[in-house]
């Protein structure tokens, strides 16, 4: 292909970024379309650095992009995609190689990302040096059956955020979107833990009902967490980036399986 260049997205405006995002994610495994308001929220929540996020241009038009978020010396790919009309032409590999060079130049030590296990982009990530760390589960639970038979303990206690994160940090290794800094950028967050401190959950939003975090070190704690989620959310709820743990084990006993799985991947930059 001719007239290809790769450059930073620093001068792009919100409406154009939204159009490019929606165009490039067409045909994905699930709906990824955003409004400009959603796009602004995603960029802010993820702390995307547009000056370090790269786009690949073909004949002057953006054919793909890689959004890079920063957290100290760590980076995270907050979205990377190629326009369907330009796929399978080697553009994604070229784009990612340049993005990694940018990351090295600004002093990042490692970059993380998540990719659906069935997504062919995983092969590109592996080819440029990313390695699989673990599987993460995505839950979209609708009408959890027989929930009334779940043992309902005393309600979780509302917990100060510092106590919540201190306790969680000692026993739970979160993926990027469950890191403390990321969670704290949500609107109106509140945290709860059980009386033993073996399990907790975090909610966000105007009514504090959006589930954004859940963890447990014991089977009993997992039961406490799910009961608390149901009291807050009802029988339908979502949970993303949940590693294999006591919560996933407990959900399996109720026949609740992930709606999708994705690999957490990382590259060490030298």
Q: pLDDT tens for residues 94-115?
A: 999 999 999 999 999 999 999 9
Q: pLDDT tens for residues 158-171?
A: 999 999 999 999 88
Q: 99, 132 in Cβ contact below 8 A?
A: no
pLDDT confidence tier of residue 156, bands split at 50, 70 and 90: confident
Find the mean pLDDT for residues 125-138: 98
Residues 6 or more apart whose CB falls under 8 angstroms from that of 195 comprise 154, 157
196: its two tokens: 């033993």
Superfamily of domain 4-108: Gcn5-related N-acetyltransferase (GNAT) (3.40.630.30)
Residue 151 has pLDDT above 60, yes or no: no
Q: 61, 99 in Cβ contact below 8 A?
A: no
Residue 146 has pLDDT above 70, yes or no: no
pLDDT confidence tier of residue 222, bands split at 50, 70 and 90: very high
Torsion sign across C-alpha atoms 37, 103, 31, 56: positive
Q: 151, 253 in Cβ contact below 8 A?
A: no
- pLDDT value for 254: 85
Q: What is the DSSP annotation of 218-239?
A: SHHHHHHHHHHHHHHHTT-EEE
Residues β-bridged to residue 140? 238
The b-or-e profile of 129-147 (16+ CB within 10 A means b, else e) is: bbeeeeebbbbebeebeeb
Q: pLDDT tens for residues 11-32?
A: 899 999 999 999 999 999 999 9
In this prediction, what percent of the chain has a pLDDT beyond 70? 95
What is the rounded CA–CA span in Å between residue 233 and residue 214?
13
Residue 150 has pLDDT above 60, yes or no: no
Q: pLDDT tens for residues 172-196?
A: 899 999 999 999 999 999 999 998 8
pLDDT confidence tier of residue 143, bands split at 50, 70 and 90: confident
Q: What residue ranges do the domains of the chain occupy? A: 4-108, 139-261
Nearest to 48 by CA among 205, 165, 182, 173: 182
Find the mean pLDDT for residues 128-151: 82
């Amino acid at each position: 292909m001719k007239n290809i260049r790769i450059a930073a997205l620093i001068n792009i405006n919100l409406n154009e970024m939204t159009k490019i995002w929606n165009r490039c994610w067409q045909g994905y495994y699930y709906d990824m379309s955003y409004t400009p308001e959603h796009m602004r929220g995603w960029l802010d929540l993820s702390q995307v650095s547009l000056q370090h996020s790269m786009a690949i241009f073909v004949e002057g038009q953006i054919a793909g992009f890689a959004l890079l978020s920063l957290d100290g010396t760590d980076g995270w790919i907050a979205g990377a995609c190629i326009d369907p009309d330009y796929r399978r032409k080697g553009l994604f590999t070229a784009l990612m190689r340049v993005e990694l060079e940018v990351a090295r130049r600004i002093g990042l030590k490692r970059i993380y990302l998540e990719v659906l296990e069935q997504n062919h982009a995983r092969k590109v990530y592996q080819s440029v040096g990313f390695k699989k760390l673990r599987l993460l589960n995505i839950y979209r639970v609708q009408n959890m059956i027989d929930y009334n038979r779940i043992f309902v303990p005393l309600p979780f206690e509302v917990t100060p955020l510092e106590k919540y994160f201190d306790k969680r940090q000692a026993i739970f290794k979160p993926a990027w979107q469950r890191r403390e800094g990321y969670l704290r950028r949500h609107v109106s967050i509140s945290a709860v833990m059980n009386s033993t401190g073996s399990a907790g959950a975090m909610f966000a939003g105007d009514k504090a009902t959006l589930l954004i975090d859940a963890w447990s070190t014991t089977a009993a704690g997992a039961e406490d967490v799910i009961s608390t989620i149901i009291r807050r959310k009802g029988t339908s709820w979502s949970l993303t980036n949940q590693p294999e743990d006591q919560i996933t084990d407990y959900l399996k006993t109720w026949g609740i399986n992930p709606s999708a799985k994705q690999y957490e991947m990382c590259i060490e930059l030298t």
